[in-house]
Amino acid sequence: AERFREDVVDDFVAEYEAGRTPNPCLRCNEKIKFAALLDKALALGFDAVCTGHYATVVLNEDGTRELHRASDMAKDQSYVLGVLDEKQLAHAMFPLGDTLTTKDEIRAEAERRGLAVAKKPDSHDICFIADGDTQGFLAARLGKAEGDIVDEAGTKVGTHEGAYGFTIGQRKGLRIGHPAADGKPRYVLDISPVNNTVTVGPAEALDVTALTAIKPRWCGTAPEGPGRYTAQLRAHGGETPVSAELEDGELKVVFDEPVRGVAPGQAIVLYDGTRVVGSATIAATTRRTAEAATA
């Protein structure tokens, strides 16, 4: 519990306070389920940690292991496991990954086997925020901090009670007093914790063409040289083709087509077909210029 509070909950709050958008599920898998919990399991003589994630581990002839997407793509959860390295994969089991059974069937089998989790409620997106009120959770820990909401020209268009309550690409809940000159919706483009300012603008200003990611973790051997992959940017998002290369410990990624809703702090997970290559934390993005967006 102490490790979970420090490595997941406290990290979650600190990341939002710094203007980033973290994914606590990845942090939990990296630091708790397949680190603290796995260490305890091995110390007690167990072989592996077994979870209900929809993903598969493939054992190659040479003894190496690979992490792949689940058989049922609609349920695939390999994105949140992209932080696992080969050593952790060697002691991980995902029995649901290659099945097409329904959740009701799985619960029924768990009940037949006498497992207490048979009647366990479905998990929330963020397990430690039971009511789903992330903004309220952060406000209780960080307090109110009023600041300005400005447009791309720096003109004040509204106020907020804490920049941590916003994410890049957010449209709802901005509480802007008056509409944009063109009448179109505005989205969060930038969050600056330094001056406690939230910048909003049109949807096309969210177009990201490239990014830099830090703290890469590889599900096996690190790739060498530039390569072609597909990338997933959120747990329930789709794939997009990219070119990626590791430079001085940082992952440089260029998208074939601009993508939106990319925020520092999020994880990017690279795939080679169904195989998970690895993941990294987004540190900075490059956006398409306004001129290019309207061309």
CA nearest to 267, candidates 35, 82, 69: 82
Cα separation, 4 vs 23, whole angstroms = 14
Active site residues: 28, 127
Instruction: DSSP letter for 290, please.
Output: H
Q: Which helix (H) or strand (E) holds 285?
A: strand 275-287
DSSP one-letter code for 89: H
User: Which of 196, 219, 205, 201 is CA-nearest to residue 275?
Assistant: 219
Any residues with CB less than 8 A from the CB of 87 and at least 6 apart, and which? Answer: none
DSSP-assigned letter for residue 223: P
258: left (phi over 0), alpha (psi -120 to 50) or beta: beta
Contacts 24+ apart (CB under 8 A), 140-143: 141/13, 142/13, 142/16, 142/17
C-alpha closest to that of 24 among 41, 7, 39: 7
Instruction: Provide the residue type at 142 as one letter.
Output: L
d(CA 117, CA 113): 10
User: Taking a C-beta distance cutoff of 8 angstroms, is the pair 3, 38 a contact?
Assistant: no
User: What are residue 93's DSSP bridge partners?
Assistant: 50
